[in-house]
C-alpha cells in the first residue's frame, strides 16, 4: 500500500478532468432537461482548437507563453460550436417530444467527430499535443507530471469562479430561477433563451479547459477522444446528482478515485486477482454508480424534485 | 423559423453524409490502370484506413496498390488486368466481416489482402472459406489463425485452407524478444501488460512463457483497455514493482501513452512490445519518453534488404503521403502472391482464367499453396498451415527519435 498517496493523486487528477467535462452536462440538463450527448465532441473540438492555436504561433514558442493563447482560442472554438449546436440543433426542437433533441444530440456528435476526421489536417490519426519539458514534480509521497499542474490549478479555480458566478451575479441567479421553473422565470422578465445560451457557453468553456488539460496530460488529441471522456463525464454528472454543478465535480472526483483504487488494489484481494487491474476498472466504477443510485437515486448531491410534465 | 432551422440541419447532415461517402468511394477508384488486358479481375484490400491504426493501414493499402500497378504495367499475367478495391475496417472485427462478405459477393473478385488486426482476421476467415476465395494477410501474427486454437499444446491443425499470411507469428515473435532481453540485455524481471485482444494477449503469453523458461521473473501482470489513454494507476503499480522492463502485448495507440506514463511515474525502464509498436506514430505520441523502448518486428529491416530496394524506390516515386510503415513490404508481397497464383492458374489453363469465377477462385487457392517467388521481404512461400516459410525477425530500439535495428535473426522452436 506504499503507493496509496500516488494512487490518490492519480485518481484526483483524473477525477478533476471528468468533473470539468461533467459541469457541461449538468448545467444544460439543469436548465433544459436535455442530455447533450454532443458535449464530448465539444470537448474534443476544444482540444483541436488549442492545437491549432499552438501551430499558428511561431515555432519554438515556449508553452508557458503559448498557453494563454491556446486557452482563449480553445474556449472560443468550443463555445462557438456549443452555441451553434444550441441555436441550430436544439432550439428548433424545444417543446417537441423529449426524444427528438436526444437523437439530434447523438447525430450531432457523430457529425462533429467526422468533420474533424475529414477536414482537420491529419485528423484521421492522433495529433501530438505540445508538452512541458522536464521531470515530474516530486512532492515526497507522490509525484505529478508537469502537464498535470495545469489541471491541478485550473480545475479548482474554474469551479470557484463558477460557484461565484451562479450564486452572486444577476445572470447566475437568473439561471437558478430558470432551472427551478422556466415558465415562472419567463413571467418574471427573465430572457430564458439567453440563459439557455449562457448555460451552453459556460459548459463548453469548461470542456475546452478540460481538453487542454487532457492534451497536456496525455500528449495527444484525436477525433475520437470525446466519446469515452464524454461517457465518463456523463456518468460523473449522474453520480454527483445531475443538475447540480458541485455534484458534477464531486461525481468526477469519486469516479476518478474509484477507477484508480480499482486498478491498484482489487487484484491484491485474495481470490479477486482475475477481477482487478486496468481492464476491470470501468466495471468497478459502474458497480459504484449502481450502488449509489440504488441508495440515493438523485445522486450524491442531487435534490429530489417532482418530475415536471 | 422552425422549418428554416430544420432545413439547415438537414442540409448539414446531408453534406456530412455526402462527404463521408465521398471519402469511401475515393479509395475504390484507385489502382485501376485499365487497358492492355482483356479480362479485369479485382483484388480486395481490407485494413484500418481510419482511426488510431490508420498509419499502418494506409501503408498497407498504398503498397498493395503499388503491386497492382506494377503487375499491370509489366503485364505480369498475360490477358489479365488487376484492380484493387480497398475497404476500411476501422480495426473492428464486425466491420471486417462485413467487408469480407461484400468481397465474397463481388463477382469480379479473385482474392483479398488483409487485414491488419488478428481479431479482424479471425472474423473474416470463415467468410472467405465459404466462398473458397484466397485471403493473404500481411500482418496477422496470432498463431491460432493458421494452426488452430490448440497450437500451444502441440496439436496444430489448420482451420481454413483459404487463409495465408506473409508475416511470421507471435509464437516466434514473443520468444525472440524474450531471448534477446534475457540473454543480451541481461534484464531479469519483467512486468507484463496486455490489452486482452487476440493479438496482444497471445503475444504477451508467448513472451512470458519463454521468459520464465529462461529463468526470468514475472513480477506482475495487468490488463488494460486498448481505448484508454489514462494509465496513471497502472504506471504507479509498475513503478512500485521495481521491474527491469515492461512487456506490453498490444498496439501503439495504447502502448505509447502507457510507456510515457510509466516513465513519468518515475520508473526509467524500457517498454518492450511486438510489431504493433514498431511505428513512427509511437514515437510521435510518447516523444522523449519513447527513448530506449524496444519493438520486435517480423522480417528484417526493409532498408537493409537488397530485395526491397526497388520497392522503396517505386514507393517514393509514386508520391504517397504516408510511409509504408511496418507492413508495406508484406502487403506488397501478399498482393504479389495473389498475382503469382493467378499467373499459375492461367498458365495451367491455356493462358486464360476459367470462365466461372467460382472455379477461378478455387484454382487460385490451390495454386497459392505451391507458389514461391522472390519478394520484397525475401523468398515468399507458404508451409502446410499457410504460414510464411520466411521466419526472419528483428528488434528495434528507439534512439534519438527513431527506430534503430539492434538485432536480426531467425527463431527456431
Residue at B6 is within a domain? no
Chain B environment of A117 (Cβ under 8 Å): 50
Domains, chain A, with CATH or none: 19-123+145-295 (1.10.3470)
Instruction: List the domain range (segments joined by +) for residue B326.
Output: 31-168+305-382
Contact assessment for residue B42 and residue B82, using Cβ atoms and an 8 Å cutoff: yes
The confidence score (pLDDT) of residue A276 equals: 79
- The beta-carbon neighbor of B16 closest among A89, A115, A264 is A115
Residue B16 pLDDT grade (very low, low, confident, very high; cuts 50, 70, 90):
low
Asked if pLDDT for residue A92 goes beyond 90, the answer is yes
Mean pLDDT of B90-105: 94
pLDDT tens, position by position, B34-56: 444 478 999 999 999 988 888 89
The residue-averaged pLDDT of A184-189 equals: 93
Query: How many degrees, rounded to 5, is the angle at CA A122 between CA A119 and CA A128?
Result: 125
* Shared-domain flag, residues B201 and B276: yes
In a domain, B44, yes or no: yes
Percentage of chain B beyond pLDDT 90 is 68
Q: What contacts B299, CB < 8 A, 6 or more positions away?
A: B167, B168, B329, B330, B377, B378, B390, B392, B393, B394
Judgement on whether residues B244 and B283 belong to the same structural domain of the protein: yes
Same domain flag for B198 and B278: yes
What confidence score (pLDDT) does residue B30 get? 41
**pLDDT of res. A3:** 84
Number of H helices and E strands in chain A, helices first, is: 11, 4
Same domain, B148 and B178: no
Enumerate the residues of chain B whose CB falls inside 8 A of the CB of residue A41: none
Query: Mind listing the pLDDT tens digit for each residue in A11-36?
Result: 999 999 999 999 999 999 999 889 99
Cβ–Cβ gap A219/B285 under 8 Å: yes
Domain co-membership, B190 together with B283: yes
φ, ψ for residue A79, nearest 5 deg: -65, -40
Which pLDDT score is estimated for B35? Answer: 41
In a domain, B7, yes or no: no
pLDDT at A94 over 50: yes
A113, A41 Cβ separation under 8 angstroms: yes
How buried is residue B221: exposed, middle or buried, by Cβ count under 10 Å (0-12/13-18/19+)? middle
* B261, B405: one domain: yes
Domain with residue B320: its CATH number is 3.40.50.2300
What is the mean predicted confidence (pLDDT) over B115-123? Answer: 94
- Examine residue B116 and state whether it is found in any structural domain, yes or no: yes
Residues 205-234, chain B: which have Cβ within 8 Å of A? 221-225, 227-234
Residue of B12, B57, B232 to mutate when probing chain A, most A C-beta within 10 A: B232
Same-domain check for residues B188 and B276:
yes
Please give the pLDDT value at position B34.
41
Residue B286 has pLDDT above 60, yes or no: yes
Q: Is residue B187 part of a domain?
A: yes
pTM here? 0.79
The answer, yes or no, to whether residue B11 has pLDDT greater than 60, is: no
Mean pLDDT of A155-180: 94
Identify the residue among A3, A278, A283 best suited for mutation to test binding to B, counting B beta carbons within 10 A and taking the highest. A278
- What pLDDT was estimated at residue B28? 43
**Edge-to-edge, what's the strand order for the sheet holding B80-88?**
B80-88, B39-47, B109-113, B134-137, B163-165
pLDDT confidence bin for B1, thresholds 50/70/90: very low
Given a contact cutoff of 8 angstroms between Cβ atoms, the answer to whether A208 and A74 are in contact is: yes
Instruction: Domain count for chain B, please give it.
Output: 2
Would you place residue B14 in the very low, low, confident or very high pLDDT band (cuts 50, 70, 90)? Answer: low
DSSP notation for B234-275: HHHHHHHHT-SEEEEES-HHHHHHHHHHHHHTT----EEE-G
* Of A37 and A272, more confident: A37
Chain B residue with CA closest to A18: the answer is B230
Cell of A209: 479547459
Is there a domain that residue B36 lies in?
yes
**Residues B289, B318: one domain?**
no
DSSP E strands in B175-240: the ranges are 189-194, 217-223
> Which band of pLDDT confidence, cut at 50, 70 and 90, is reported for residue B370?
very high
d(CA A170, CA A173): 5
Q: Looking at A50-59, A63-72, B45-54, which range is the least confident one?
A: B45-54
* Residue B97 shares a structural domain with residue B50: yes
Statement to judge: residues B351 and B397 lie in one domain: no
Are B136 and B229 in a shared domain?
no
Average pLDDT (A116-123) is 91
Residues B76, B52: one domain?
A: yes
pLDDT band at B385 (very low <50, low <70, confident <90, very high): very high
Which residues of chain B neighbour A217 with C-beta distances below 8 Å?
230
Structural domain contains residue B16: no
Contacts for B298 with CB less than 8 Å, ≥ 6 apart: B141, B167, B168, B173, B275, B330, B392, B393
- Taking contacts as CB-CB distances below 8 angstroms, the residues of chain A near B285 are 126, 128, 219-220
- Residue B215, domain member (yes or no): yes
Torsion, CA A103, CA A109, CA A112, CA A116, rounded to 10: -150
pLDDT computed for residue B3 by the predictor: 54
Question: Average of pLDDT values for A219-242?
Answer: 93
Amino acid at each position: 500500500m506504499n503507493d496509496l498517496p500516488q494512487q490518490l493523486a492519480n485518481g484526483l487528477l483524473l477525477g478533476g478532468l471528468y468533473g470539468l467535462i461533467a459541469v457541461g452536462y449538468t448545467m444544460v440538463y439543469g436548465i433544459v432537461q436535455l442530455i447533450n450527448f454532443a458535449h464530448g465532441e465539444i470537448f474534443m473540438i476544444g482540444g483541436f482548437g488549442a492545437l491549432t492555436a499552438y501551430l499558428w504561433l511561431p515555432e519554438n514558442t515556449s508553452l508557458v507563453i503559448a498557453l494563454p493563447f491556446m486557452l482563449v482560442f480553445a474556449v472560443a472554438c468550443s463555445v462557438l460550436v456549443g452555441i451553434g449546436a444550441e441555436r441550430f440543433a436544439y432550439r428548433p426542437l424545444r417543446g417537441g417530444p423529449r426524444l427528438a433533441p436526444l437523437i439530434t444530440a447523438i447525430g450531432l456528435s457523430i457529425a462533429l467527430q467526422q468533420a474533424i476526421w475529414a477536414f482537420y489536417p491529419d485528423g484521421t490519426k492522433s495529433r501530438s499535443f505540445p508538452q512541458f519539458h522536464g521531470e515530474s514534480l516530486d512532492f515526497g509521497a507522490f509525484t505529478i507530471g508537469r502537464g498535470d499542474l495545469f489541471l491541478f490549478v485550473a480545475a479548482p479555480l474554474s469551479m470557484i469562479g463558477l460557484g461565484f458566478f451562479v450564486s452572486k451575479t444577476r445572470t447566475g441567479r437568473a439561471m437558478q430561477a430558470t432551472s427551478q421553473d422556466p415558465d415562472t422565470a419567463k413571467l418574471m422578465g427573465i430572457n430564458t433563451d439567453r440563459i439557455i445560451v449562457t448555460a451552453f457557453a459556460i459548459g463548453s468553456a469548461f470542456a475546452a479547459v478540460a481538453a487542454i488539460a487532457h492534451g497536456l496530460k496525455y500528449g495527444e488529441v484525436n477525433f475520437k477522444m470525446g466519446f469515452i471522456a464524454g461517457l465518463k463525464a456523463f456518468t460523473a454528472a449522474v453520480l454527483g446528482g445531475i443538475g447540480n454543478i458541485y455534484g458534477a465535480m464531486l461525481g468526477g472526483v469519486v469516479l476518478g478515485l474509484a477507477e484508480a483504487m480499482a486498478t491498484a488494489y482489487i487484484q491484491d484481494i485474495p481470490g479477486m486477482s482475475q477481477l482487478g487491474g486496468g481492464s476491470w476498472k470501468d466495471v468497478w466504477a459502474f458497480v459504484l454508480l449502481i450502488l449509489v443510485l440504488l441508495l440515493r437515486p438523485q445522486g450524491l448531491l442531487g435534490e429530489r424534485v417532482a418530475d415536471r410534465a | 423559423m422552425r422549418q428554416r432551422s430544420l432545413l439547415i440541419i438537414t442540409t448539414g447532415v446531408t453534406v456530412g453524409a455526402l462527404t463521408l461517402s465521398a471519402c469511401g468511394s475515393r479509395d475504390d477508384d484507385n489502382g485501376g490502370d485499365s487497358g492492355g488486358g482483356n479480362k479485369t479481375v479485382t483484388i480486395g484490400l481490407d485494413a484500418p484506413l481510419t482511426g488510431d491504426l490508420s498509419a499502418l493501414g494506409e501503408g498497407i493499402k498504398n503498397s498493395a496498390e503499388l503491386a497492382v500497378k506494377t503487375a499491370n504495367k509489366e503485364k505480369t499475367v498475360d490477358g489479365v488486368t488487376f484492380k484493387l478495391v480497398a475497404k476500411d475496417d476501422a480495426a473492428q472485427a464486425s466491420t471486417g466481416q462485413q467487408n469480407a462478405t461484400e468481397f465474397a459477393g463481388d463477382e469480379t473478385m479473385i482474392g483479398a489482402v488483409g487485414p491488419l488486426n488478428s481479431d479482424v482476421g479471425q472474423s473474416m476467415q470463415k467468410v472467405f472459406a465459404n466462398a473458397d476465395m484466397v485471403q493473404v494477410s500481411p500482418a496477422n501474427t496470432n498463431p491460432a489463425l493458421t494452426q488452430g486454437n490448440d497450437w500451444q499444446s502441440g496439436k496444430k491443425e489448420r482451420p481454413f485452407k483459404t487463409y495465408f499470411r506473409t508475416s511470421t507469428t507471435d509464437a516466434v515473435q514473443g520468444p525472440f524478444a524474450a531471448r534477446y532481453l534475457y540473454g543480451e540485455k541481461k534484464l531479469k524481471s519483467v512486468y507484463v501488460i496486455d490489452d486482452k485482444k487476440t493479438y496482444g494477449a497471445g503475444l504477451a503469453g508467448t513472451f512470458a512463457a519463454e521468459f520464465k523458461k529462461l529463468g526470468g521473473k514475472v513480477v506482475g501482470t495487468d490488463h488494460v483497455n486498448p481505448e484508454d489513454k489514462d494509465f496513471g494507476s497502472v504506471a504507479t503499480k509498475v513503478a512500485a514493482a521495481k521491474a527491469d522492463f515492461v512487456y506490453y502485448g498490444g498496439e501503439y495507440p495504447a502502448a505509447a501513452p502507457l510507456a510515457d506514463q510509466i516513465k513519468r511515474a518515475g520508473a526509467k525502464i524500457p517498454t518492450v512490445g511486438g510489431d504493433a509498436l514498431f511505428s513512427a506514430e509511437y514515437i510521435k505520441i510518447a516523444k522523449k519518453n519513447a527513448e530506449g523502448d524496444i519493438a520486435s518486428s517480423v522480417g528484417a529491416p526493409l532498408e537493409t534488404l537488397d530485395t526491397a530496394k526497388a520497392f522503396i524506390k517505386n514507393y517514393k516515386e509514386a508520391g504517397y503521403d504516408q510511409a509504408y510503415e511496418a507492413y508495406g513490404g508484406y502487403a506488397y508481397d501478399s498482393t504479389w502472391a495473389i498475382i503469382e497464383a493467378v499467373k499459375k492458374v492461367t498458365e495451367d489453363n491455356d493462358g486464360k482464367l476459367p470462365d466461372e469465377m467460382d472455379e477461378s477462385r478455387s484454382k487460385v487457392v490451390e495454386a497459392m499453396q505451391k507458389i514461391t517467388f522472390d519478394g520484397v521481404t525475401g523468398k515468399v512461400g507458404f508451409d502446410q498451415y499457410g504460414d510464411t516459410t520466411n521466419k526472419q525477425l528483428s528488434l528495434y530500439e528507439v534512439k534519438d527519435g527513431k527506430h534503430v535495428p539492434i538485432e536480426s535473426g531467425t527463431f527456431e522452436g
